[in-house]
Chains A and B, each alone.
Chain A
Amino acid sequence: MKGPLAKTAILLVGMYVFLKFILPLFTAPLPASLIFLYLALTFASAMIFYTMSGGGLDEFMGPVGRFLTGSGQAGIAGTARILVFILFPLLVGWQAYTRLAPSDMPPAENRTIHPAPPGEFVGLANPYPRTQENIMMGKGLYAAFCSPCHGANFDGKGPAAVGFNPPPANFSDPGTIAQLQESYLFWRIKKGGVGLPVEAMPWKSAMPRWEVELPDEWIWKIIMGEYDGAGQSPRTWEEEE
């Protein structure tokens, strides 16, 4: 196992093990398509390296040619060659089948959860001071208008939540309102689900267009109550911090 091809194979296996099993210990798991891309880049790099230095293409591809023609092979290598020759057409047939067979799966949905807000809703500051009184009023309004879906505990588990797809946002999750500015929430509450852009699939959202029912002042106070109740802080521009 000293040839360039064997070294490349070992490198690819090592790379795969690293990307698939070791990297997720430190960060989010990589999607399969990205792992494939990295392996393809690794293979291409190895090919360029070996064909530019020394022995050239023949040294690199020689074992492949000897394997395919079966010259001087016996035992396990011979078995593997037959195996490859049988398996390759079957894999092609299997691929053809899985591509052509009608799927029972509904179309995949790539819904953007936090799409960009319209320009007029960027960077607005809450015009009401963060007083205990305003927060309490916001929590009261939240309990009346928002909690049936978003939950009395701000966790998206209100009594009406179970029927909706997408489910109501869970504000106690650090991935929701903690990542957003107050002006973003103002947009989402005021314009509701029907105010979302196409990539967020507005036709699926049950969120009411609250501007029809609530004055802006109430919406700003609800935002205050939401952050306080969920134990989160709004995201701010760095220069403001």
Chain B
Amino acid sequence: MGYKKIFNVALGLTLIVTGVGVSCVFASDPPPEGETGSVAVRLFLTEGAVPADDPNAAVWNTIEPAEFKLAPQVHWPDRIQEVTVKSVNVRGVHNGQDMAILLEYADPSEDAADAAAVEFMVGDKMAHFAHGQEMLQVEGGDVNIWYWKKEHGKATDMTAKGFKTLRPQENQDVSASGFWRDGTWRVVFSRPLQTPDELDVQVTPGEWRNVAFAFWDGEIVDGAVKEKGSQKAVSSWWYIRAEPPPDNSIYGYVVLGIVLAAGFEFFLVRKIRRGNES
């Protein structure tokens, strides 16, 4: 091989590396962040037990939280216009069997009636974020709500499909634990990814689900609890997904694609050359 040929190959490789690098930079659009926060919760895949019932486990500090802004509930008539909890930081992990979701939010006082909830769509039917409220042109589905209240000290696994239909499920599959310090609640919910209960959200790694959050400030003001029932802070629907295990078969398909493309080139050139000779 002459110097000229070696130079040509080296030049070609340099250009390829530069080209691929440039295309990577331009191809990867920034993630579609909401105007004021995140759009999805990622349940990171870990080995070993998930930190169920431990809002202060070390693993939580290793995870970048997703932040969701909250608004007063306005959909139902029994509404208030100011809420205490303005935003929530959400972290999640799973180990292929169980998942744990940590909600971290500011609330200046620790009160018996402080409460937090995570809501999911169940199955394939879309459900309105206000407790699966009836929609007029779309047949909606159920929502599954995991509710935690400080004075209960545990989670309640609930189902709803519209106004006044919220009820605890027969099968209680969720556990929860809260810890308050210096004006911040850390509440962790945990559950197996899959349950036999058809009223539950089923979480399959790699698949997107819809999730929403709600919070109540249970402070007593003038003899009454400040936020209760539909007087609460809520989020819209956002996305949640359990991270799938790494799939190395992809690289096999990449190699197959490269080999097929190279083979195509070889046969194309051979065909053209034979055509020219004949």
Q: Does A231 lie at the interface of the complex (its beta carbon under 8 Å from any beta carbon of B)? A: no
Q: Does A112 lie at the interface of the complex (its beta carbon under 8 Å from any beta carbon of B)? A: no
Residue of A nearest to B213 (CB): A163
Q: Is the CB of B269 within 8 A of A104?
A: no
Residue of A nearest to B76 (CB): A208
Which residues of A have CB within 8 Å of B22?
none
B160 → chain A, closest Cβ, in Å? 13
B103 → chain A, closest Cβ, in Å? 15
Q: Is the CB of A148 within 8 A of B72?
A: yes
Assembly CA distance A157 to B264 (angstroms): 58
Known A-B contacts A89-B261, A203-B127; the reply to A194 vs B136 at CB < 8 A is yes
Q: Does B237 lie at the interface of the complex (its beta carbon under 8 Å from any beta carbon of A)? A: yes
Q: Is the CB of B269 within 8 A of A160?
A: no
Q: Does B153 lie at the interface of the complex (its beta carbon under 8 Å from any beta carbon of A)? A: no
Q: Is the CB of B77 within 8 A of A208?
A: yes
Interface residues in A5-47 (C-beta closer than 8 Å to B): none
Q: Is the CB of A104 within 8 A of B238?
A: no
Known A-B contacts A160-B74, A206-B236, A208-B74; the reply to A194 vs B276 at CB < 8 A is no
- A86 in complex: contacting residue of B13, B135, B239, B241, CB < 8 Å: B13
9-residue interface stretch from A95-103, A176-184, A220-228: A95-103
Which residues of A have CB within 8 Å of B133?
194
Q: Does A68 lie at the interface of the complex (its beta carbon under 8 Å from any beta carbon of B)? A: yes
Q: Is the CB of B69 within 8 A of A204?
A: no
Q: Does B225 lie at the interface of the complex (its beta carbon under 8 Å from any beta carbon of A)? A: no
Assembly CA distance A89 to B261 (angstroms): 5
Q: Does A65 lie at the interface of the complex (its beta carbon under 8 Å from any beta carbon of B)? A: yes
Contact with A along B229-257 (1 / 0, CB 8 A): 00001111111010010010010011111
A57 → chain B, closest Cβ, in Å? 12
Contact with A along B30-57 (1 / 0, CB 8 A): 0110111001101000000000000000
Contact with B along A37-62 (1 / 0, CB 8 A): 00000000000000000000000000
Interface residues in A75-118 (C-beta closer than 8 Å to B): 78-79, 82-83, 85-98, 100-102, 104-107
Residue of B nearest to A118 (CB): B137
Interface residues in A168-216 (C-beta closer than 8 Å to B): 191-198, 201-204, 206-208, 212-213
Assembly CA distance A18 to B103 (angstroms): 51
B89 → chain A, closest Cβ, in Å? 14
Q: Does B111 lie at the interface of the complex (its beta carbon under 8 Å from any beta carbon of A)? A: no
Q: Is the CB of B258 within 8 A of A90?
A: yes
Assembly CA distance A163 to B83 (angstroms): 11
Q: Does B268 lie at the interface of the complex (its beta carbon under 8 Å from any beta carbon of A)? A: yes
Assembly CA distance A165 to B42 (angstroms): 19
Which residues of B have CB within 8 Å of A74?
4
Known A-B contacts A79-B8, A96-B254; the reply to A102 vs B19 at CB < 8 A is no
Bin chain B's interface residue count. Answer: 35 or more
Interface residues in B109-139 (C-beta closer than 8 Å to A): 121, 126-130, 133-138
- A203 in complex: contacting residue of B128, B238, B257, CB < 8 Å: B128
Known A-B contacts A88-B265, A160-B72; the reply to A203 vs B39 at CB < 8 A is no
A-B contact pairs, 21 of them (CB 8 A): A65-B275, A69-B273, A82-B9, A89-B257, A89-B261, A90-B258, A92-B261, A94-B23, A104-B42, A107-B239, A162-B69, A194-B134, A203-B121, A203-B127, A204-B129, A204-B237, A206-B236, A208-B75, A208-B77, A212-B77, A213-B77
Residues of B within 8 A of A (CB): 4, 8-9, 11-13, 15-16, 19-20, 23, 27, 31-32, 34-36, 39-40, 42, 68-72, 74-77, 81-82, 121, 126-130, 133-138, 140, 206, 208, 233-239, 241, 244, 247, 250, 253-262, 265, 268-269, 272-273, 275-276
Q: A86-B16, A202-B138 are in contact. List 5 more A-B contacts (CB 8 A).
A: A79-B8, A148-B74, A163-B68, A194-B128, A206-B75
Residues of A within 8 A of B (CB): 65, 68-69, 71, 74, 78-79, 82-83, 85-98, 100-102, 104-107, 148-149, 159-167, 191-198, 201-204, 206-208, 212-213
